[in-house]
DNA sequence: ATGCCGATGTCCT
DNA sequence: GGACATCGGCATC
């Protein structure tokens, strides 16, 4: 475990969830269950900006047993079941009572491909193995039982990757599947790496980040 | 290449 | 009863 440079809680305990979503590109998502380690580089994320964001489960102060973890301290997992089938992995950010989160939408496998293949029934040559939030959760063996998991522990965490992401290779676009969110559906809160085969969505229309 | 549709837990009306 | 931060299979163009 010592080989991984785990992100400290302070990384997630910041106000700008959109910046956090962008900065998570190139980081490694790591799971370690029963000694089996799987690692994927984060290549696609989306920011969800809490009570003011109509696309967020926490929109308008909405609070349910499912979403309660988003109102908790930062640096914890928020995992929920989507369409009754898919387990979607998010990281809680900001501060307690401010329910911001970043959805991890796609990974590029780094380590543990055999375990990923066993869990999904696919080979690593099929990019769909970790493309899309439902698929990556299956490959990493993440499910709703881990909602609320502290990412400072060693079962699920995020670590610095082994290379720097070139800003010119980061594209942004509106979020996927949130058409119901009115004008908030237009916000460019999705970030992804240019030309990466593991990025979800068909022919994504993206723009370079301007900074 | 594009589109429809079924699966199905949680939350909402 | 319907919508939903999805996915894969099958039909059609």
Full 3-state SS string of A7-29: CCHHHHCCCCHHHHHHHCCCCEE
**The pair of three-digit structure tokens given for residue A95, joined into one six-digit string:** 């501060």
Q: Considering only CA atoms, name the residue closest to the C1' of nucleotide C7.
A: A134
Measured from the CB, is A180 under 7 Å from any atom of strand B? no
* Length A88 CA → C3 C1' (Å): 18
Measured from the CB, is A27 under 7 Å from any atom of strand C? no
Grade residue A206 by pLDDT with cuts at 50, 70 and 90. Answer: low
Predicted TM-score (pTM) of this structure: 0.95
- Residue A10's CB is within 10 A of a number of other CB atoms, namely 9
Note the pLDDT tens digit of each residue in A45-92. 999 999 999 999 999 999 999 999 999 999 999 999 999 999 999 999
> Which nucleotide is closest, CA of A175 to its C1'?
C5
Measured from the CB, is A89 under 7 Å from any atom of strand C? no
Average pLDDT, chain A: 94
């Amino acid at each position: 475990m010592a080989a991984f440079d785990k992100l400290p809680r302070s990384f997630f305990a910041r106000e700008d969830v959109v910046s956090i979503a962008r900065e998570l590109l190139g980081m490694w998502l790591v799971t370690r269950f029963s000694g089996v380690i799987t690692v994927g580089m984060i290549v696609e994320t989306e920011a969800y900006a809490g009570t003011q964001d109509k696309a967020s489960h926490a929109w308008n102060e909405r609070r349910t047993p499912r979403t309660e973890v988003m109102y908790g301290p930062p640096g914890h997992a928020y995992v929920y079941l989507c369409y009754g089938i898919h387990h979607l992995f998010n990281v809680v950010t900001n501060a307690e009572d401010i329910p911001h989160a970043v959805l991890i939408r796609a990974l590029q496998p780094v380590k543990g491909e055999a375990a990923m293949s066993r869990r999904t029934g696919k080979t690593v040559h099929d990019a769909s193995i970790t493309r899309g939030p439902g698929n990556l959760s299956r490959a990493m063996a993440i499910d709703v039982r881990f909602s609320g998991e502290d990412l400072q522990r060693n079962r699920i965490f995020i670590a610095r990757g082994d290379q720097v992401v070139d800003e010119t290779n980061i594209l942004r676009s509106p979020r996927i599947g949130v058409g119901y969110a009115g004008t908030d559906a237009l916000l460019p809160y999705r970030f992804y790496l240019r030309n990466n085969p593991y990025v979800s969505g068909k022919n994504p229309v993206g723009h370079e980040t301007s900074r």
